[in-house]
Amino acid sequence: MKKIGVLTSGGDCSGMNAAIRSVTRTAIGHNVEVVGFRKGFAGLLKGDYLALGTRDVAGIVQRGGTFLQSARSDEFRTAPGREKALRHLEELGVEGLVVIGGDGSLNGALALHRMGFPVIGIPASIDNDIAFTDMALGVDTALNNIVYAIDCIKDTASSHDRAFVIEVMGRNSGYLASTAAIATGAEYAIVPEVECDITELCNSLRRRYEEGRSNAIIILAEGAGHAQSIADNIKDAIGFETRVTVLGHYQRGGAPTVFDRLLGSRFGFTAVELLLNGQSGKMVGLCCSTVIPTLLETVVVTEKTPQDELYEMSLILEI
């Protein structure tokens, strides 16, 4: 291979820049040219790209977001869109592609592979909902952001004897909510994977209040319910003054943690090594501290095993 491409697609996350830098420098180390497509598959469709040299990716490993920018492309989901993307790759002399993104992006990568184009995927999504990787890129930074915010909210909650319902992201995954609950000592995590008995939740909050606890933190995964209505329920049931905080996109940004800088670097390095070794249609994943490739066609049809033990642990630790 003489030239490869790289793009970031779907929701951005911290660590994407580390992966782009690693892809670029690993490829250049093998005398392979690199082009970065702007705004994900949309850039591929428009022919919107830039040549990436070693210095072009300097000073980005510590920056959140993605300097190539990201987008979700409806056109790329269509067969004519994919044909057009393939034509552009061929016209540019690009012989392989690294796609950095979440489940939608990995599906796009698989589609290109099925059209005969060499592709390797890197899992990147704060939701941690991608199978065959213990951690996706961006999860650790998002979790640290969440924990910092909740620690702050806990200070004000305890000063006013209040309960807070704090909504975190995660789409249909409760990973961020469960792990944040453990790490912050929250009273309760509400996750999409487990039905929440709001009466039981209120009873247990009331018991704690009567035992002398002055505040409560309930972490709600966005896919598990409506924050304001849960807060209203708590207020009506136990008379606790409640507030709602939706952490929103704050969770997705900020300087990547060391873990995400290293993970992005390791994923990028292995992705290029795989491409240059003639492999395609695979996603690199972190399995028991080792970077291991898995077939994309297996990844996209496998639901990540819900990490119920984390949720159970969060309940037991908050007794």
Known catalytic residues? 127
- When asked if residue 170 is in the footprint of ligand F6P (CB under 6 A), the reply is yes
Residues whose CB falls within 8 Å of the CB of residue 212, separated by 6 or more in sequence, listed in order: none
Judged by CB under 6 A, the residue of 6, 9, 11, 15 near ligand F6P is 11
- When asked if residue 81 is in the footprint of ligand F6P (CB under 6 A), the reply is no
Per CB under 6 A, the segment of 90-98, 120-128, 224-232, 270-278 that binds ligand F6P is 120-128
- When asked if residue 125 is in the footprint of ligand F6P (CB under 6 A), the reply is yes
Judged by CB under 6 A, the residue of 126, 146, 186, 274 near ligand F6P is 126
Strand partners, 195: none
Phi/psi of residue 110, nearest 5 degrees: -65, -40
Per CB under 6 A, the segment of 60-68, 167-175, 192-200, 296-304 that binds ligand F6P is 167-175
Residue count at the site for ligand F6P (CB under 6 A)? 10
- When asked if residue 304 is in the footprint of ligand F6P (CB under 6 A), the reply is no
Residues whose CB falls within 8 Å of the CB of residue 201, separated by 6 or more in sequence, listed in order: 188, 190, 218, 234
Nearer to ligand F6P, 175 or 240 (CB): 175
CA-to-CA separations, 125 to 11, 27, 68, 120, 170, in angstroms, rounded: 7, 24, 16, 16, 9
In this structure, what DSSP letter does residue 303 have? B
- When asked if residue 127 is in the footprint of ligand F6P (CB under 6 A), the reply is yes
Range 14-31 burial, b when 16+ CB lie within 10 A, else e: bbbbbbbbbbbbbbbeee
Residues whose CB falls within 8 Å of the CB of residue 257, separated by 6 or more in sequence, listed in order: 14, 140, 141, 144
- When asked if residue 169 is in the footprint of ligand F6P (CB under 6 A), the reply is yes
Per CB under 6 A, the segment of 38-46, 124-132, 263-271, 284-292 that binds ligand F6P is 124-132
Residues that bind ligand F6P (CB under 6 A): 11, 102, 125-127, 169-171, 222, 252
